[in-house]
Each structure stands twice: as C-alpha cells, then as structure tokens.
Structure 1
Amino acid sequence: MVVLHVKLAPPAAAAATAAASSPMQDVDEETEFLYECAASAVVADVAAALGALAGLQAAILSLCRRLRARCAGAMGELERALDEAEAYASKEQVQRNRFLSPRALREHIKNIEKKCANTLQEPLEALSLQESSSDNKHERIQIWWAGKELAMDQKLSDYIGVNDKTKIVVRLIEARDEC
C-alpha cells in the first residue's frame, strides 16, 4: 500500500499573498493526515477519499474550537470528548505514523454531540454550532505532488510507479472558479 502524507493548502492557495494575511491560514497549514491506498488506485477516487477525510478532520477541529469558545468552563465528559476528538484529528497522528479513519472521525462527532446534549442539556443544533455539510467544500479537490497536479483520469501508479511500499507527500488544493 502507498502511504500518502496529505497536507492541506490554505484556502487562498492560488493567491498566496492574500493567504499570508488570512487568520485561517494557521489552521489550514496545520492540517495534515496519513492515508493509505493501492498504487493502482485512480486519482479521482483517491481525491474523493482525501476530500472526505479532510472535511471530517476540519469539521471536528472546528466543532471543538467553537464548542470550547461557546462553552468555556464545560467540565467532565464533554471536555474529555473534545480532548479525545482533537487529539485523534490532530497532525500529531502523522508523527506517530497513524492513519485517520472516516468511521472513527464520525464516531468522535457523534460522541461530542451526545456529550453536548447530556452536559449542556441542549443539542448542537440549539447551540447553532453545527456547520452545514462540508462535503461540497471538498468536491473539487486537486492533488499536487512533486510540483505537478495529478490528472483525475490517471492512476496513482502513472506518477509514482507500481511499488506499493512508497510514501509520498501530497498537497490538497480546493479548485476555485475564478470570475
């Protein structure tokens, strides 16, 4: 299996000078994770999986940040659930050579929702903390490796070869429509 060390580009990657002054740049530059796939995988399938994982990771980190700001001083089970979710979704998992699981990320979100309802006696919807689905945000992902955009209709092996014991660092960039 090929290991992809995925780094997310800042939202304004196309306009690097604008991104330098963006407060969200710090959050997005910190976003990294590991993903494992076959060298024979189609780039479009890999991009879809990476986009979904990136969306879940961003949702957890954002939810934890907003809940901590909104519910400062929340103690006990909610605080523990937030700590566990942040630790699982953090870039430190890359340093420990651990892969993110979409199932585990969804379980952390459900756990936070449950603890929030129990601790605060309110569902997330009542606190206005639930974001709209982030699936659309990562719908038009581009994968870059070695300074080149990977074509969606190609296989990963067309770029990195057929060796399944390869580890590469790729950058995800959200494609934007320029008007």
Structure 2
Amino acid sequence: MVVLHVKWTTSSPSPSPSPEAEFLHECAATAAVADVAAALAGTAGLQARVLSLCRRLRERCADAPAAYGELERALSEAEAYASKVQVRHNKFLSPRALREHIKNIEKAAANTLEVSLGALCLQHSKSDEKHDTIQLWWAGKELAMDKKLSDYIGTNDKTKIVVRLSLPNDA
C-alpha cells in the first residue's frame, strides 16, 4: 500500500489565513487518481468538520468550562484524533472514526447544553459533498483524474509521498 501524506489548507471566507491541515491515507498504487482524490476530499472534509465543531463549541462553552465535563472530553478526544500531530505518529485518519467523533460531539453537546442540534447549527451541510473541482498535486504537477496513481509513482507499493490537496473554495 502507498502512503499519502496529504497536506491541505481549509478554505474560509475570513480574511485571516486558515491553518494547514494534514493527515495520512493509505491506498493501492494501482488506484485511479479520481478515486483517491474523492477519498482524500471526503476525509479532509470530515477532518475540517470535526475541528470546526470543536472550535465553535469551545467558543460557546468558554463561560463555564467546569460545567461541561462530558462535552469537554468528547471535544478533546475528537481534536486529538483529527489533529495533524497524528502524522508524526504515523496514524491514519479513518472517515468512519471521524464520523463517530462527530456523532459523539453532537450527542454530548445536545445533552450538556440541553438544546436541539438544529439550534446549535451543528448539522451536516451538503457543501461537504462537492468534489467535482478537486485537484491533487505531487512533485509540482497536477495529477490527471483519468490516470492511475502508478502512472506517476510507479508500481512499488512501499512508497510514501507528500501530496497537496486543493479543494473548491465553497467546500
């Protein structure tokens, strides 16, 4: 399996620069670039969603942090899992685990804050599903979506490469 060290920047309308996010992904060298790009974009979207939920809920709960033990634990676990520090420890992000952390955060927020998820504006937005303008870059070249990964890196399955993922501005 080829290990992809994915680097990407969250796109936000705010004037301040957004931090770069990173994660590790594993795939076959013979995988289609389009399939890999879609999987990477999905994981990146989930990672961004987890970190955004954590940031928004921490801001909301900044007044009385002692009263939010269950929520604080869920936020800490999710932030640690979605952190780019995982790359240093060679830990891969799982979309399934990211979705589970999102569910845990939403459940803890609803229990702790005693309001509906809709009132917290935590619901999943459909913009996370847009993957039609994804670009994947490696070695200064954009990878063509109609080719296979092996066309660029060869057939060696014990390869680790660093790729840059460019997502659409509204994702």
Instruction: Flag whether TM exceeds 0.5 (same fold).
Output: yes
- Determine the C-alpha separation between the residues in 1 that align with 2:78 and 2:15: 25
Residues paired across the two proteins, number: 167
Deviation at 1:174, TM superposition (A): 2.2
- Determine the C-alpha separation between the residues in 1 that align with 2:50 and 2:152: 32
Q: Helix, strand or coil for the counterpart of 2:18? A: helix
- Determine the C-alpha separation between the residues in 2 that align with 1:89 and 1:10: 14
Match of 1:67 among 34, 49, 57: 57
- Unpaired segments ≥5 residues, structure 1: 13-18
Change (3 A) 1:71 1:9: closer
Residue 58 (structure 1) aligns with: 48
- Determine the C-alpha separation between the residues in 2 that align with 1:64 and 1:130: 13
- Determine the C-alpha separation between the residues in 2 that align with 1:174 and 1:106: 20
Deviation at 1:124, TM superposition (A): 2.3
> Does 1:99 pair with 2:76?
no
Q: CA RMSD in A?
A: 2.1
Deviation at 1:131, TM superposition (A): 5.2
Residue 26 (structure 1) aligns with: 18
Residue 15 (structure 1) aligns with: none
Query: TM-score, normalising length from structure 1?
Result: 0.86
Identity %: 71
Query: TM-score, normalising length from structure 2?
Result: 0.90
Superposition pairs for residues 15-164 of structure 1, below 5 Å? 22-23=15-16, 25-27=17-19, 29=20, 31-72=21-62, 73-74=64-65, 75-130=68-123, 132-164=125-157
Q: Helix, strand or coil for the counterpart of 1:52? A: helix
